[in-house]
Structure 1
């Protein structure tokens, strides 16, 4: 079984022996300071320069994720935890999902220009697109655009461009 499928099904661990549930139970401080789990939570087609030990998505893994409701549910659970870490909420609506952003978002740790979490968000967008959660991508991308417009000093134009490309499935470079 591919390592990503085993990891997401609770049958395997990442390169450091951590389970998906274990990573999701990290404190916000641990999520912020640890940098080698995000490639497992949000895998892409290309190897990560930051964590070359993390497996990549191939055509078979992509197809399995897109067709397996259980894997989709686990990926949804991962998204919810990471968005909680960022201080935003993904709310289900009749049209799909909507990203709710609190008024005091500027006070959050990642709301600074070129913060490393901007790259994590880019990876999230690209991975969700790749693995079939398009409604999540749409909500996240729309919410991030609104956030960038309302707080232009916190998010650079370059970051916004990377997010847009990832949401379109065109940036797989992280």
Structure 2
């Protein structure tokens, strides 16, 4: 694949050359306010793609091996993943609704950790994990043990 070739729709989205399934650009999604991040449920699969289907959003994109490889080696896609990680960390630091025993954001966090691990690297996933678990600890550790276990397993070597 040539350096400027697009390997799939998520790769195009992350390199600012395509739109997500709802017709939004990466900058539009990254510009969501906190209420949109909380209330819109079809964007996280585009910001943090996985190689397995979403159970929460049928029809959400799934990346194959070639697209994952292209994303791993594309500096634009890597920058987008890093920017998305920063936006989501800001969201979790600024909002407290996810800091309870059960919340849909716990699944999102597992997705983010897994996507970062697979597409950016284990160290990036571990940094996100440490910041999220620190927020949980600072709030008195309200997140259920099962979610914490999923998060821990996502960043094991």
Cα distance change on mapping 1:147 and 1:136 into 2, 3 Å: same
Q: C-alpha displacement at 1:53, in angstroms?
A: 2.1
TM-score when normalising by structure 1: 0.79
Q: CA RMSD in A?
A: 1.9
Matched, 1:35 2:41: yes
Mapping for residues 97-112 of structure 1, pairs under 5 Å: 108-112=96-100
Cα gap change, 1:79 to 1:45, in 2 (>3 Å): same
TM-score by length of 2: 0.86
Uncovered stretches (5+) of structure 2, i.e. residues with no partner: 1-5
State the match for 1:50 in structure 2.
56
1:53-81 alpha-carbon deviations (Å, 9 max, x no partner): 22212111121122122211111011111
Cα displacement string for residues 65-108 of structure 1 (whole angstroms, at most 9, x for unaligned residues)? 221222111110111111111117xxxxxxxxxxxxxxxxxx72
Q: Secondary structure at the match of 1:45?
A: coil
Please give the alpha-carbon distance, in whole angstroms, between the structure 2 residues aligned to 1:24 and 1:137. 19
More helix by share: 2
Unaligned runs of 5+ in 1: 89-106, 170-174
Contact 2:116 2:125 in 1 (8 A): yes
> What CA distance in whole angstroms lies between the structure 1 residues aligned with 2:85 and 2:133?
18
Q: What is aligned with 1:9?
A: 15
1:77 aligns with one of 76, 83, 93: 83
